[in-house]
Amino acid sequence: MAHDAGTGAALTGMVDSLMQEVARALTALAETGTRAAIDLRSLPLTPADRDQLAARLGRGEVAATLDVGGRTEVWETAYAGVWWQRHLGAGDHVAGETLEITPLPDILQSHADDIAAAALRLARDLHDTKETADA
């Protein structure tokens, strides 16, 4: 589309410095367990930069799609401990996108409160089932 001419299809070289930042964060995670996150939406990455970043980080063993107030996609990159997390909002536009340098992104874990609520619900369901069977 003509209007999109000049939106920045070229490589800016930003991915080189971003990869250095990821490497530093991953070393810190390996040595001290310090977790980090990089907000990709706050960086002026061109579409070409984004493709280059995705290619250089590659894909790892894990990919998940979550249905949480719209879709969220999370995948581990080819570097263990480096996760790509993409939240989609209205109309499937990207509402948030981060690189998470962590053993496991928080959003993949079940929260303690949700676990407690689920335990109660399951106990109640079992109780109801038993009552129905006894009746």
Residues that bind other proteins (CB under 8 A): 2-8, 35-39, 41-42, 66, 68-70, 72, 85, 87, 89-98, 106-107, 111, 113-114, 117
Judged by beta carbon, residue 47 or residue 130, the one nearer other proteins is 47
Judged by beta carbon, residue 125 or residue 130, the one nearer other proteins is 125
Which pairs count as long-range contacts for 52-58, CB under 8 Å and 24+ apart, including other chains? Answer: 52/11, 52/15, 53/15, 53/18, 53/19, 54/84, 56/15, 56/19, 57/22, 57/82, 57/84, 57/99
Q: Cα(99)–Cα(73) distance, rounded to whole angstroms?
A: 12
Judged by beta carbon, residue 2 or residue 135, the one nearer other proteins is 2
CB of 91 to other proteins, least distance (A): 3
CB of 26 to other proteins, least distance (A): 15
CB neighbours of residue 28 within 10 Å? 14
Q: Are 29 and 101 in contact (CB under 8 A)?
A: yes
CB of 125 to other proteins, least distance (A): 14
CB of 135 to other proteins, least distance (A): 27
Judged by beta carbon, residue 6 or residue 134, the one nearer other proteins is 6
Alpha-helical runs (H) found in the chain: 14-32, 47-57, 112-134
